[in-house]
């Protein structure tokens, strides 16, 4: 990421030039379809031993992390994608 000021907009971030950054949250374990419905507005990619949540807009990053914690899911990493 650049050193420019950044504005939060849900799961996406926007720098002072209006460029958007999306976030990916990697969780240990595979989130089932049923449990995944708790993250309806996000994309879920199931991989061996982990699930990747990504998206933009409606669900704030902090709210998603809080929800993962409440469900007892272990966050492995949080990454910004340009």
Binned at pLDDT 50, 70 and 90, residue 79 comes out as confident
Q: For residue 82, give every residue at least 6 positions away whose Cβ sits within 8 Å of its Cβ, in sequence order, or none.
A: 1, 19, 21
Higher pLDDT, 55 or 76: 76
Q: What is the pLDDT of residues 6-54, one digit of tens each?
A: 444 445 556 566 666 678 899 999 999 899 998 877 889 999 999 999 8
Break the chain down into helix, strand, coil percent, rounded to 5: 20, 45, 35
- Residue 76, pLDDT score: 95
- Tell me the average pLDDT across 55-63: 67
DSSP state of 43: E
- Do 24 and 81 form a contact (C-beta atoms < 8 A)? yes
- Residue 62, pLDDT score: 80
Q: For residue 50, give every residue at least 6 positions away whose Cβ sits within 8 Å of its Cβ, in sequence order, or none.
A: 26, 27, 28, 29, 30, 76
Q: Which residue in this structure is represented by tokens 């007892």?
A: 72
Higher pLDDT, 3 or 24: 24
């Amino acid at each position: 990421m650049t050193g420019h000021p950044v504005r939060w907009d849900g799961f996406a971030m926007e720098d002072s030039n209006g460029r958007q950054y999306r976030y990916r949250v990697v969780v240990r374990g595979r989130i089932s379809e049923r449990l995944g419905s708790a993250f309806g507005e996000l994309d879920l990619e199931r991989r061996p031993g982990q699930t990747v949540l990504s998206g933009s807009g409606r669900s704030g990053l902090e709210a998603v992390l809080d929800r993962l914690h409440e469900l007892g899911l272990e966050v492995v990493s949080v990454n910004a994608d340009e």
